[in-house]
Amino acid sequence: MKQRVFTAIVYKEGNLYVSECPEVGTVSQGETIEEAINNLKEATELYLEEFPLPNTNKPILTTFEASYV
């Protein structure tokens, strides 16, 4: 069984927390941050059973600031 660390992006939408895994494209939700991440982990594991990832390097995650009106 392979293991890999993935990124989770979590944001609040209404009364729920939405979680996304940008490396795989999976999305889930939950009433708490922890529940949203656990649901995302389950969704990602199920996805990867059907569509395994090729051996690639982990992407670089950073932030940037943008100005807007």
Tens of pLDDT, residue by residue over 15-66, are 999 999 999 999 999 999 999 999 999 999 999 999 998 877 777 888 899 9
Q: Domain of residue 35: give its range.
A: 1-69
**How many other C-beta atoms can be found within 10 angstroms of the C-beta atom of residue 19?**
24
CB-based contact 46:36 (threshold 8 Å): no
What confidence score (pLDDT) does residue 47 get?
97
What confidence score (pLDDT) does residue 59 get?
76
Q: How many domains does the chain have?
A: 1
Question: Could you give the angle at the alpha carbon of 26 between the alpha carbons of 24 and 63, nearest 5°?
Answer: 70
Q: How far, in Å, CA of 50 to CA of 67, rounded?
A: 41
What confidence score (pLDDT) does residue 66 get?
94
Q: CATH code at 63?
A: 3.30.160.250
